[in-house]
Amino acid sequence: MNPDPDYSAAYVRIGTDAGDSGHAFVFTIGRGNDVEVAAIKALAPYVLGQSAEELLADLGGVWRRLQHDSQLRWLGPEKGVMHMAIGAVVNALWDLRAKRAGKPLWRLLAELSPEELVDLVDFRYLSDALTRDDALELLRRAEPGRAERIARLEAEGYPAYTTTPGWLGYTDEKLARLSREAVAEGFPQIKLKVGASLDDDRRRLAIAREAVGPGIRIAVDANQRWDVDEAIEWMRALAPFDIAWIEEPTNPDDVLGHAAIARAISPIPVATGEHGANRVMFKQFLQAGALQVLQIDYTRVSGVNENLANLLLAAKFGVPVCPHAGGVGLCEAVQHLAMFDFVALSGTFDDRMIEFVDHLHEHFVTPVDVHDGRYWPPAAPGAGTEMHAASIAEYEFPADV
């Protein structure tokens, strides 16, 4: 589905008179990056000339104002280019807030009170599945163990899995070698792209399974290639290979389609979310039993605030969150949300992993620390979303917007 990605980012830097700055971005795969830049520029009046102190003290309010600007909302509503632009602005403010607090974002969030956290979320359109009171109860239930879980996170890291071995187009030899290397590096799960040819998928899964042995999980990812009936047939054919999950079997808007697939191929879990447009879509995927693994993305939705809603929804339905990462800087960013989730909400590593792709980390000021198959919690202040000035200077595209 994405045959020619040209990894790009629409990058936001919000500077202050105090000389500090918050950074964030929207990940894109090439053409259209300028469109995202134009959308971000349309939001400048919401931050330019404002008091940083006031903005940072009420990020729930900032998010609501951006989200409910009725003229900009018309362009979605709450989806696509404009929605992702709101996410970048909100996330740049979160980066600045975490830096000023002297904490990594995961810890900043994990040390907020349940009341402060729910104030960051808008429960409009969610109340048939999750109310403010539901959310408070979930957060309060997890509150007593926070300190203990922070210590565990720092001692054990957060489980990771790798997509590195499984790209389409690799030779069988390369697939086998990279699969073995993933196991040697301590990853408990690898992921293979599927959906181009059933025969190829069967052969590649056999090779991968032989390379990793029986104890390692193998997930597959169809990148939206199939219609509903096709997905069901294809996955029934792959079922004998002990599949950890099938990711994006069909169109990411198709709640009912995913639900039909999930029912038909049970117990193979359906995973999706990297193209989930907003919290209302995630609500429905959960209500319909259309996903068994919820994959948040850091730059697809409207920022940390909306992802808090997504994490709370997942917790309400008892569904594990395994963030999507890779691209440009997604690993650096989304680990913070997974770690917050562990400390303050889910309280468990069971069935939870953050995706890892070893790519482009060198452009970030605080690159991820992934070793022994684990993400190790960042200690540096901020959200992980600041790129090196030298990288920006080298790769900045002349903006004509």
Interaction between residue 35 and a second copy (CB under 8 A): yes
Measure Cα distances from 274 to 255, 348, 401 in Å. Answer: 14, 22, 27
Range 280-319, binding a second copy (CB under 8 A): 280-281, 283-284, 287-288
**The only residue of 14, 47, 79, 183 in contact with a second copy, by rule CB under 8 A:** 79
Contact mark string toward a second copy, 205..234, x via CB under 8 A: -------------------x--xxxx----
Tell which residue, 386, 384, 381, 383, has the closest CA to residue 102. 381
**The only residue of 19, 48, 74, 390 in contact with a second copy, by rule CB under 8 A:** 74
Q: How far is the CB of 55 from a second copy (least distance, A)?
A: 19
Q: How far is the CB of 325 from a second copy (least distance, A)?
A: 16
Catalytic residue among 99, 191, 316, 324: 324
Tell which residue, 393, 3, 296, 23, has the closest CA to residue 169. 3
Phi, psi of 164 (to 5 degrees): -55, -45
Contact mark string toward a second copy, 129..168, x via CB under 8 A: ----------------------------------------
Interaction between residue 28 and a second copy (CB under 8 A): yes
Question: Whose Cβ is closer to a second copy: residue 230's or residue 351's?
Answer: 230
**How far is it, in rounded angstroms, from Cα 188 to Cα 107?**
26
Burial category of 392 from C-beta neighbours within 10 Å (exposed 0-12, middle 13-18, buried 19 and up) = middle
**How far is it, in rounded angstroms, from Cα 40 to Cα 26?**
10
Provide the terminal-to-terminal Cα distance of the chain, rounded to the nearest Å. 28
Interaction between residue 277 and a second copy (CB under 8 A): yes
Interaction between residue 270 and a second copy (CB under 8 A): no
Question: Whose Cβ is closer to a second copy: residue 70's or residue 171's?
Answer: 70
Contact 275, 305 (CB under 8 A): no
Q: Scanning the structure block, which residue is given the tokens 């068994």?
A: 292
Q: How far is the CB of 191 from a second copy (least distance, A)?
A: 19
Question: Whose Cβ is closer to a second copy: residue 38's or residue 207's?
Answer: 38
**How far is it, in rounded angstroms, from Cα 160 to Cα 176?**
20
Interaction between residue 171 and a second copy (CB under 8 A): no
Alpha helices (H) along 157-296: 172-184, 198-212, 228-238, 255-265, 279-287
Phi, psi of 16 (to 5 degrees): -125, 165
Interaction between residue 6 and a second copy (CB under 8 A): yes
Pairing of strands 374-375, 370-371: antiparallel
Question: Whose Cβ is closer to a second copy: residue 34's or residue 185's?
Answer: 34
Pairing of strands 354-356, 189-193: unpaired
Contact 163, 190 (CB under 8 A): yes
Question: Whose Cβ is closer to a second copy: residue 280's or residue 380's?
Answer: 280
Contact 8, 33 (CB under 8 A): yes
Contact mark string toward a second copy, 109..128, x via CB under 8 A: ---------------xxxxx
Interaction between residue 278 and a second copy (CB under 8 A): yes
Total residues contacting a second copy (rule CB under 8 A)?
63
Catalytic residue among 193, 258, 283, 316: 193
Question: Whose Cβ is closer to a second copy: residue 101's or residue 228's?
Answer: 228
Question: Whose Cβ is closer to a second copy: residue 224's or residue 295's?
Answer: 224
193 is catalytic: yes
DSSP-assigned states of every residue in 293-341:
EE---TTTSS-HHHHHHHHHHHHHHT--B-----TTTHHHHHHHHHHHH
324 is catalytic: yes
**How far is it, in rounded angstroms, from Cα 288 to Cα 282?**
10
Contact mark string toward a second copy, 244..263, x via CB under 8 A: ------xxxxxxxx--x---
Q: How far is the CB of 136 from a second copy (least distance, A)?
A: 18
Interaction between residue 31 and a second copy (CB under 8 A): yes
- Give the active site residues: 193, 324
Give the interface with a second copy as residue ranges (CB under 8 A).
1-6, 28-32, 34-36, 38-39, 42, 69-84, 124-128, 224, 227-230, 250-257, 260, 275, 277-278, 280-281, 283-284, 287-288, 400-401
